[in-house]
Structure 1
Amino acid sequence: MQPQTSPQSEEKERVSLIHSYSNAFKGFSAMLTEEKAALLSGEDGVVSVFRDQNLQLHTTRSWDFIESELGLGSLKFHQRFPKDVIIGLVDTGIWPESPSFADAGMGEIPSRWKGVCMEGIDFKKSDCNKDDVGHGTHTASTAAGAMVLNASYYGLAHGAAKGGSPSSRLAMYKACSIGGCAGSAVLKAIDDAVSDGVDIISISIGMSSMFQSDFLSDPIAIGAFHANQKGVLVVCSGGNDGPDPYTVINAAPWILTVAASSIDRSFQSSIVLGNGNVIKGIGINFSNLTHSASYPLVFGGHAAAQGTPASEARKTKGKIIVCVDNDPTVTRKIKKLVAQDAQTKGLILIDEVEKEWLLILAVILSQKNPVATILPTVDVNGYKPAPIVAYFSSRGPGGLTEGILKPDVMAPGVSILAAAIPSNEIGAVPDGKKPSNFGIKSGTSMACPHVTATAWSNIGKPLTNSSGANANLHDTGAGEISPMKALRPGLVYETTTEDYLYFLCYYGYKEQVISAMAGTKFSCPKNSSPELITNLNYPSISVARIDGTKNTVSVTRTVTNVGPGNSTYSVTVEAPSGFIVRVSPEKLAFSKRWMKASYQVSFDVKGASKGYGFGSLTWSDGAHIVRSGFAVNVL
C-alpha cells in the first residue's frame, strides 16, 4: 500500500530527486535521510546505496612521439582510424570556439547519434556544455582535435597540434566544475552517453586513492560496468597519487586504466646560482629576469619564520623564493599565487626526490647574501630517456584487489600541448602577447584521451621510472601504447560480462546483489574465493599471494585468433630470478580466424625472493607479437 501524502509532501519528495538513471541501468540519486537510505539499502533488487562523492579532475608533440616510436608518418597513422567513431567525454565541458574543434570537411552527424543539448532553468542551449575550467577542452582535443598548424604555447611546443583520431566525433558530457565532479552527475553522464550512441567513453577523473570505495559503491565503476554490458568501452585515468604503491584508482577489471608517461620533449628553465652553478629545472617561465645571478635567494621556511604578514613581505619582496613541493593538498597554482601576492621575483619549487635541490639549499645556508636568477624556458626535443613513467602517476597494485594487474597501459601525460580556453588572468599571459588557444598540462588526465583515441601493446623495450630505475608492471601496466600494432594484434583476450560477474562472486559479493547488478538472475560458482580472481581472462596475470615454501599456482588464459587462419604461435617466457614458469601447451595452432585456444601457466617460486616478481610471456607467429605481463607476490 502506498502511504497517503499531501500535495506539499509530494512536492518535497519530487524536489529531493536529483538524477534518474534509466538507459544503461536503473537507479536514482536523491536527497535522503540516513534512515531512509538505510531502509532502501535493504530492499530486494538494490545493488548499493552510498553517499554522493566529489570526484577530482586528474589534472602536440605527444602524438608525433608515439608515431616516431613506430617509424611512421603522421598521415599514414591517422588514415588508419575509422571515421565517425563517437567519443564520449565526461569532463568540465568544451570550448567549441577553439580551432581544434573546427569541423570543416566532416560529413553529416551519424544517424545512430541520439544526443541533444538539454536545457534547464539556468542552463540555456547557447551555453550547452561550455567549458569554464579548461580541463575538458584539453582532454577532448587530445583525443580527437583537428589538425592546427603553427600551434604553440607562446612559442613553446611549436608545431602542428592534433588529436589521436581527428576524424572522430566528440560528445561532451559536462559533469564537473572547478570544485570537482559530483559522483551522481558522473553516473548520469555515463548513462546518457550509452543511450546517445557513443562508441567509447573517456573519463579523466576519479576519487582520491586514500578514500577508494568498493566496486559497487563507486559511481565510475558502476557506470562503466553497465556501459560495458552495452558494448561501450570506458577508459579512465589511473590517478596522480604516485609514486607510492597501492594508489591506482579506477581499477575495476571492466575499466581500461591508464598510467602517465613522459615524451621526448622537456620545457627547461635553468637556475643560475651566485657561485656559478647552473641547475636545469623543469618549468615554464616568461619573465624578464636578468641572465646574471643578481636576485636575493631565500628559503620559504626562513621567510615565514618571522610570523607576521608584514615581516614576511619584507623577507620576500623582490627575491626568489625556494619552497619544498611536499604538500599535495596545495596546488602549484595556489603556491604561485601566494608568491605573487608576496611580491617575489620568482618561485622555485623543489622536488625532494631530485638531488639538485641540495645544491640550492647549500648556497642558501653557506652564503651570507645568496643570489640567483631564473632563465627563460627553452624547448628541448629529443630528450632522453623517453618514455619514462611520470613521477606523479599512480602505481599498482590495486587497493581493492591484487588479483588484477593495474594500471593496464601507459600513455603520454607530461607537458601535453592541447586546446585551451584563452585566458586573460593576471600572470597567465606574457607581456605583449594575446591569450593563447593552447595550453600545456600534465597528469593521467592527459594520458587517458591518448588511449581513448587508439588501443595498446608494448613498444618492446625496457621502460624506466622518474628515478632512472627499471619500471615494473605496477608502474606501466602492459607498457606504452602502440596504436598501429594494436590495429593488427594477432591474438586478443576476450573478457565477457559473465566473466565480470564471476569476478564479483570471487570478490565476495552476494548472489542477490550480483543478480541486481546484472539485471538478470545469476548464480555464483561453488567455493568462490578471492584467489580465483587471478583466473579472470585478463590480458595480464596477477597472483596476489603464493606461499614460497610449498605452493605452485596455475593460471588459465584463452586467446582468440583475429589474424590470418592457419597460424601457429610459439611462446617465450621472461621470468625473474628464482621463478620457474611453465606454459602448456608451448604452441597454439589455429586453423581459422576467430578460433579460440587455451593455455595454462604455472608458477613455481620455491627459489624466489619474497615480494613481487615481474615477468612476461610472449606469443609470436613471426608476424605478430602478443605479450602478457605477470606479477606474482611471494610470501
Structure 2
Amino acid sequence: MEYYVDPIAIIAFVATQKGIFVSCAVGNSGPSKSSLSNGAPWVLTVGASTIDRSIRATAVRLGEGTELDGDVLKPDIIRPGVNVLAAWPFDIEDASQGPTFNIISGTSMSAPHFSGVAALFKSAHPDWSPAMIQSALLTTADRVDHQGKNIADQNLNRANLFATGAGHVNPSKAIDPGLVYDLSPENNISYLCAKNYSDDNVSVIAHKTTRCADYQKDGGSDLNYPSITGHLNLSVRLVQKYKRTVTNVGEASSNYKVEVDEPRGVSVVVEPQILQFSRVNEKDYFVTLSINSSTKVGPMRRGSCVGCPTSTL
C-alpha cells in the first residue's frame, strides 16, 4: 500500500512531526517475503520473537522484506511476542451468543513494548527526536541470543536481516548509544519526493501543502537511516556510495573508530575511519560498497560495523 493511502503511515508522519514516537507491528503474515506491514521509515517497525532467547529465539510470525521500500531495511527490530497472549473484543451485541473476547499473539504484542521504552527514553532524554530514539534502539540491539548464538528463524537456521532487523532490543545499552542518526520531517519529505510521488500525494502524508521542487530528492540510499541496503549487480551497478550523519549524544570529547565486518564478496570503505568530537554536534561520514567482475555475491549478503549502520546486500 502506498503511503498516501495508508492511514497509519499518514497519522504516524503527523505524530512524529509533533515529537511523538510511533511503534508499529510488522504483522503476522510471514515468514513469506514481502508480507510486511507498516514499513514507513518514520515509524519503528517491530517483529516478534520467542520469550526465552536462551533457546535460539526465533522470529516465527512476522512480515519479511518489503516491495514498497526496498531501500529501507524492515522490520527494524524484534521483541518477544510469540505466544504472548492478549485479548481483543468481538463486535457482537448479545454476549449470550458466545464469547465476547478472542486471544491473539505475535507482533501486536511486541510492538507496545517499544512505546514503553520510548517513554523511558523521553524521560531521560527529553530533547531526543523520535528518529533519535529509534536509532538508539537499532544501533545497540543484540544480534545474538543470550548464549551468544545467532538468532534462529522458524526452521532453526540463522535468521536473515529481513526477519530480525537489527536484532533483539537492549534498552540498557540503548539509553546511552553514543551516536545517533536523526531524521527531520523535511528529510522524510525529500525521501517521499524521491519516490516520485506527486505534490498532492506528499501533501496528504505531510498534512500540509508541499512542492517537491522545493526539496532535494533524497532516495533511500541517502536517507539518514541507521541501516544501509545496497543494490549491487555485475551488469548495472558495481559501486554504491552512501552518506550518513551522526549526532554525538555521548561524552562531549570522544572519538569513534570504525570496525567493519564486510559482507562476503563485497568491499566496504568507510571515510573517515575515525570520527573525532570535541563537543556534542554532528559529523558526516561516507560508506562505499563495491563488487568486482569476479565476485559471486549471491542474492543477499549481510555485514555490520561499529560506528556505522547495519548493511545488507
TM-score bracket for this pair, using the shorter chain length? 0.7 to 0.9
Cα distance in 2 between the residues matched to 1:502 and 1:564: 31
Q: TM-score, normalised by structure 2?
A: 0.81
8 Å CA contact retained: 1:612, 1:631: yes
8 Å CA contact retained: 1:572, 1:618: yes
Cα distance in 2 between the residues matched to 1:608 and 1:557: 27
Confirm whether residue 258 of structure 1 aligns to residue 43 of structure 2. Answer: no
SS in 2 for 1:253: coil
In the TM superposition, 1:280-319 aligns within 5 A as none
Which residue of 248, 262, 275 corresponds with 1:575?
262
Cα distance in 2 between the residues matched to 1:573 and 1:233: 30
Which residue of 72, 75, 87 corresponds with 1:407?
75
By how many angstroms is 1:425 displaced? 9.5
Cα distance in 2 between the residues matched to 1:384 and 1:232: 33
Amino acid at match of 1:219: P
Q: Match of 1:244?
A: 32
Size of the alignment, in residue pairs? 278
Confirm whether residue 481 of structure 1 aligns to residue 131 of structure 2. Answer: no
Gaps in structure 1 of 5+ consecutive residues: 1-212, 265-382, 429-438, 620-626
Moved over 3 A (4+): 417-421, 424-428, 515-518, 520-529
- Percent of aligned pairs with the same amino acid: 36
Can you list the C-alpha shifts for 1:568-616, whole angstroms capped at 9, x where unaligned? Answer: 00111112211111101111111112x1011111111222423121111
Confirm whether residue 394 of structure 1 aligns to residue 63 of structure 2. Answer: yes
Can you list the C-alpha shifts for 1:441-484, whole angstroms capped at 9, x where unaligned? Answer: 42111111112211523124221111111111111111111111
By how many angstroms is 1:520 displaced? 4.1
Cα distance in 2 between the residues matched to 1:413 and 1:426: 30
Can you list the C-alpha shifts for 1:285-332, whole angstroms capped at 9, x where unaligned? Answer: xxxxxxxxxxxxxxxxxxxxxxxxxxxxxxxxxxxxxxxxxxxxxxxx
Cα distance in 1 between the residues matched to 2:87 and 2:170: 23
Which residue of 496, 499, 502 corresponds with 2:190?
502
Cα distance in 2 between the residues matched to 1:425 and 1:260: 34
Cα distance in 1 between the residues matched to 2:142 and 2:96: 41
By how many angstroms is 1:557 displaced? 0.6
Larger RCO (CA within 8 A; separation ≥ 6) = 2
Confirm whether residue 536 of structure 1 aligns to residue 217 of structure 2. Answer: no
Which residue of 533, 548, 555 corresponds with 2:242?
555
- In 2 relative to 1, CA 584–608 (structure 1 residues): closer, same or farther, beyond 3 Å? farther
Cα distance in 2 between the residues matched to 1:468 and 1:411: 17
8 Å CA contact retained: 1:404, 1:542: yes
- In 2 relative to 1, CA 250–420 (structure 1 residues): closer, same or farther, beyond 3 Å? closer
In terms of fraction of residues, the more strand-rich structure is 1
Amino acid at match of 2:243: T
Cα distance in 2 between the residues matched to 1:611 and 1:244: 16
Q: TM-score, normalised by structure 1?
A: 0.41
- In 2 relative to 1, CA 420–386 (structure 1 residues): closer, same or farther, beyond 3 Å? farther
Q: Match of 2:19?
A: 231
Q: Match of 2:107?
A: 444
Can you list the C-alpha shifts for 1:472-517, whole angstroms capped at 9, x where unaligned? Answer: 1111111111111111111110011001101111111123443454
Confirm whether residue 546 of structure 1 aligns to residue 209 of structure 2. Answer: no
Q: Match of 2:301?
A: 613
By how many angstroms is 1:521 displaced? 4.1
Please tell me whether Structure 1 or Structure 2 has the larger radius of gyration of its CA atoms.
1
8 Å CA contact retained: 1:571, 1:618: yes
Gaps in structure 2 of 5+ consecutive residues: 90-94, 119-136, 145-149
8 Å CA contact retained: 2:23, 2:115: yes
Can you list the C-alpha shifts for 1:257-279, whole angstroms capped at 9, x where unaligned? Answer: 00110111xxxxxxxxxxxxxxx
Amino acid at match of 2:74: K
Cα distance in 2 between the residues matched to 1:426 and 1:482: 45
Q: Match of 1:458?
A: 141
